Structure formats: structure tokens, C-alpha cells
């Protein structure tokens, strides 16, 4: 209907359409176009010609048209080169279309009457379709439709899906309610767990601890996280600092509080400078071997998984953070993925996240590093001081254990 409306009301309109597969594009979308074109008022419908490869104005075949274009991650150029005053991109099953394809289309949106329509089930918690409803929602008009409220859906369908999968399942959320899933199978921290922490009030206890993630130049930022017990008190970020400037900034903020810094790469220079000045700093090599080398690929995986358990156990409060910081941290933490490599848990690297079109998780890393010496830094309970059989004890949690299925 959008295609026919735009074609009939915009002079020399151009409408490129795409979908993740040829089946979705041709067997579903393109066949629907044929159906509704046949039901148009002849005054409009007779102006246009439908073929299996193009829908166009009979008098302006090369300038006034709608075309289907399958596109893949390895060939995003299928949507390249479309320009015009009246341009409409339609992306069907948008959650399954790679970011690379959308990036190409986005470069063509240069005129006032250029639009994009994203249609689909919200199956993923990452990608441009997800961001259109979250971080970038101010740029979009978001519409949401639930099968529970639709007169077009047989109520028996909703009942059958609820009975088969449960109303709290992700399948029911996505396929019936049209909501994004609460988590993906390989998602480190789910949205619902994060949002619970954002609304949780805890009392700050114990010493103040800082986590520091060091970046130098480029788009990445150096970040500091300040926490007391399970209460995250705040974050600071700076961009473009050299080693000594970063060390000075960290020292001024943390003062004599414990500061845990990733000492890989440029972070080593910051640690050395702080140690020379007598700061209370500990270097954490997240690329080194884990304490529990049987379960974790490296220290980074071990620390991030124990952070996940603190979230799941209700040991973390984010209620002190301002909304902008909370949104940025949510975007970073809920998009980190994990996998198993040779039977050990491995956390997605920064490089892999960037290849997915995501920014460096600077805030998330700073938060993780603030827990690197244990929940109660300086006390007997901690990641490095407890025996392996206590790794899932009262403080670090009894959260979901992915190892039960493979051990």
C-alpha cells in the first residue's frame, strides 16, 4: 500500500525494496504488490505496469519505478546509486538485513522527500532496526502492532503460541506481541536484567573503587567508572588524551581510592605512571589466563561473566546514573555477545563489535574493571582469593550457569 501510494502521489518516484532473502522479497512482497495493483482505481492503476522485475510508470519507465533488490552483507551495493527528490527505501524483515546494506541506502537520503520504511518482527537486540526503536528513535516514527490487539489475527493463534511456548518466552514476545526479545541466546546481559538494575536502589557500602579503560586517539574514549559496593556512582569519559594526560586525569579523579586499569597496550603506560606517583592502582591484564582456565577463555571472559552474575543476582544498582549515561551503558552492555571456544566461554572482542558496526564498549569495560578485584575489594571475598568451588557463592551469585550443559 505504501508503494502504490508513493508511486501515485510523487512525480518520478523511485522505490528500491530489499529483504534478507529472495523468497521474502519476490514470493511475499512482490506478489502482494501485484495483488493490490490489480485492485487500484483504473485512473491510477492503468498508469503503471507490473512485471516480475519492475513496477513502473508507463510513460517514464527509467525514472519512475519500484524495483526489488536482494542484498547481502558481502554485496551491499545492490541499494547503491539510487537518488532523487522522491525516494523511498522499503526494507522488509528489517531485523535480518545486515547493517552494511542499510549504510549504503542511508547515503542516498539527501533530499527532503526521501524516506525509509523498516518492516519486520523485532527478532534481534542489535543492528539498525533495533537502534531505530532505541538509541536512534528520535529520528524515526515508530509504530508497534500486537497480534493480541489485531482484528486480523485469529485469537486461537495467540492462545496456541502461549500454550506452546509460554507468554513469557521470547518467541511469544516477538511473534505475538511484536516486542523485542528480553535477551538473545548469546547475549551477555539481557535488557530486562539491565533495566531492573536501573530501577534498583541499594545502599553504598565499603570502599570506593574505580575501573579505568584506556584509549588514546580516534573515536574510542578513555572511561572511568566509580562504584561503592554494588552502587554505580557515575562515569567519566574523555577523548584524545595521551598517556600522561590520562594518568593525571585518573589520579585526580580517584585520589587514593583503589583504581583497576586494563594494562594491555597503552594502559600499561598509564599504570606505570600512576605507580610512579604512588597511586593506589592495580593493573589488570584482561588478555591473560583466567583463574578458572577450564571454564573461561581468558581473564576478560571470567570478569565479564561474574559481572553478569552480579546483575542477575540483584547486586548492582544503576539508579544513580543520569539518563544519557544509562542509555549509553545499556546500549553497550546489552549488545556484547559470548560464545564457547573449545569448551570455554569467550566474550566478543572490541574488534568483533566494531565489525558489527558497534562502538567500542568503553563504559562497559570500565564497569567490568571496577569489579576486577572482587565485589568487596580489599576484603577476603573476591575473584582471586576464593577457591574455584566458591566462584558461584553468595556474593558472586547463583545466576544462569552455561557450563552445566557442557561439563
The arithmetic mean of pLDDT across residues 274-291, rounded, is 94
In this prediction, what percent of the chain has a pLDDT beyond 90? Answer: 58
Q: Is the pLDDT of residue 293 over 50?
A: yes
Say if 302 falls within a structural domain: yes
180 assigned to some structural domain: no
| CATH classification at residue 281 | 3.30.420.240
Domain at 51, CATH number: 3.40.50.300
Is residue 238 located within the same domain as residue 305?
A: yes
222 and 364: one domain? yes
Final residue belonging to a domain, choices 82, 115, 143 = 143
Burial class (CB in 10 A: 0-12, 13-18, 19+), 404: exposed
**110: in domain:** yes
In whole angstroms, what is the distance from residue 226 CA to residue 322 CA?
14
In a domain, 185, yes or no: no
pLDDT in tens, 252-268: 999 999 999 999 888 99
Pair (115, 207) in one structural domain: no
Domain shared by 277 and 401, yes or no:
yes
Residue after which a domain boundary falls, among 125, 143, 161: 143
Kindly state whether residues 198 and 347 are assigned to the same domain: yes
Q: What is the pLDDT of residue 107?
A: 80
pLDDT the model gives residue 75: 66
Q: What is the DSSP string of 17-28?
A: EE-SSHIIIIII
Shared domain check, 232 and 380: yes
Is residue 160 included in any domain, yes or no? no
Q: Are residues 136 and 197 in the same domain?
A: no
Mean predicted confidence (pLDDT) in 182-205: 86
Position 402 scores a pLDDT of: 43
Tell whether the model's pLDDT for residue 380 goes beyond 50: no
* 176 occurs within a structural domain: no
**Do 119 and 204 fall into the same domain?**
no
| 8 Å CB contact between 335 and 362 | no
Which DSSP state fits 373?
Answer: T
Q: What is the pLDDT of residues 350-372, one digit of tens each?
A: 888 888 777 889 999 999 999 99
User: Residue 244's pLDDT band (boundaries 50, 70, 90)?
Assistant: very high
Render pLDDT for 12-71 as a digit per residue (tens, 0 to 9).
999 999 988 788 889 899 999 999 999 999 999 999 999 999 999 999 999 999 999 887
Residue 123 lies in a domain: yes
Measure the CA–CA gap between 199 and 314, rounded to whole angstroms. Answer: 11
148 domain-assigned: no
Specify whether 118 is located in the same domain as 208: no
Residue 228 vs residues 234, 261, 316, 317: alpha-carbon distances, Å: 10, 17, 10, 10
| 206-231: pLDDT as tens digits | 999 999 999 866 678 999 999 999 99
For the stretch 144-174, pLDDT in tens is: 999 999 999 999 999 998 887 778 777 788 8
Answer whether 64's CB lies under 8 Å from 90's CB: no
Beta-sheet pairing, 14-18 with 87-92: parallel
Both 77 and 200 in a single domain?
A: no
CA-angle at 102, arms to 346 and 136, nearest 5°: 75
The pLDDT tens digits of the residues spanning 74-127 come to: 666 767 778 889 999 999 989 888 888 888 888 888 888 899 999 998 888 888
In the predicted model, is pLDDT for residue 271 greater than 70? yes
Mean of pLDDT over the chain: 86
Total structural domains in the chain? Answer: 2
Considering only residues 311 and 73, tell me which one the structure prediction assigns the higher pLDDT: 311
Closest CA to 313 of 205, 389, 202: 202
Q: Are residues 138 and 205 in the same domain?
A: no
Q: Which domain holds residue 35?
A: 2-143
- pLDDT over 60 (residue 329): yes
pLDDT at 184: 72
Amino acid at each position: 500500500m505504501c508503494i502504490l501510494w508513493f508511486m501515485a502521489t510523487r512525480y518520478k518516484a523511485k522505490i528500491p525494496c530489499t529483504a534478507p532473502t529472495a523468497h521474502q522479497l519476490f514470493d511475499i512482497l512482490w506478489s502482494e504488490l501485484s495483488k493490490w495493483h490489480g485492485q487500484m482505481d483504473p485512473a491510477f492503476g492503468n498508469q503503471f505496469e507490473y512485471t516480475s522485475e519492475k513496477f513502473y510508470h508507463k510513460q517514464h519507465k527509467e525514472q519512475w519505478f519500484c524495483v526489488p533488490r536482494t542484498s547481502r552483507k558481502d554485496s551491499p551495493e545492490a541499494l547503491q546509486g539510487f537518488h532523487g527528490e522522491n525516494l523511498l527505501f522499503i526494507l522488509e524483515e528489517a531485523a535480518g538485513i545486515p547493517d552494511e546494506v542499510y549504510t549504503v541506502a542511508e547515503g542516498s537520503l539527501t533530499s527532503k522527500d526521501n524516506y525509509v520504511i523498516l518492516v519486520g518482527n523485532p527478532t534481534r537486540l542489535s543492528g539498525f532496526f533495533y537502534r531505530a526503536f532505541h538509541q536512534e528513535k528520535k529520528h524515526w516514527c515508530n509504530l508497534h502492532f500486537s497480534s493480541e490487539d489485531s482484528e486480523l489475527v485469529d485469537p486461537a493463534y495467540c492462545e496456541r503460541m502461549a500454550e506452546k511456548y509460554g507468554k513469557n518466552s521470547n518467541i511469544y514476545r516477538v511473534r505475538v506481541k511484536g516486542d523485542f526479545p528480553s535477551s538473545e541466546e548469546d547475549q551477555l546481559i539481557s535488557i530486562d536484567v539491565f533495566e531492573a538494575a536501573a530501577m534498583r536502589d541499594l545502599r553504598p557500602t565499603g570502599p570506593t573503587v574505580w575501573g579505568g579503560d584506556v584509549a588514546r586517539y580516534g573515536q574510542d574514549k578513555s572511561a572511568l567508572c566509580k562504584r561503592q559496593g554494588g552502587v554505580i556512582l557515575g562515569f567519566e569519559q574523555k577523548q584524545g588524551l595521551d598517556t600522561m594526560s590520562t594518568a593525571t586525569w585518573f589520579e585526580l579523579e580517584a585520589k587514593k581510592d583503589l583504581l583497576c586499569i586494563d594494562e594491555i597496550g597503552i594502559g600499561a603506560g598509564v599504570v606505570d605512571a600512576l605507580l610512579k606517583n604512588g597511586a593506589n592502582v592495580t593493573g589488570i591484564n584482561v588478555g591473560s589466563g583466567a583463574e578458572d582456565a577450564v571454564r573461561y577463555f581468558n581473564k576478560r571472559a571470567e570478569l565479564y561473566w561474574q559481572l553478569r552474575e552480579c546483575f542477575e543476582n540483584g547486586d548492582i544498582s544503576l539508579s544513580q546514573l543520569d539518563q544519557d549515561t544509562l542509555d549509553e551503558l545499556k546500549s553497550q552492555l546489552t549488545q556484547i555477545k559470548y560464545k564457547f571456544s573449545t569448551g570455554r566461554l569467550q566474550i566478543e572482542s572490541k574488534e568483533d563489535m566494531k565489525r558489527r558496526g558497534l562502538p567500542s564498549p568503553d563504559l562497559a569495560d570500565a564497569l567490568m574493571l571496577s569489579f576486577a578485584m572482587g565485589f568487596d575489594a580489599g576484603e577476603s571475598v573476591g575473584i582471586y582469593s576464593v577457591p574455584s568451588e566458591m566462584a558461584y557463592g553468595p556474593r558472586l551469585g547463583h545466576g544462569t550457569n552455561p557450563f552445566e550443559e557442557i561439563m
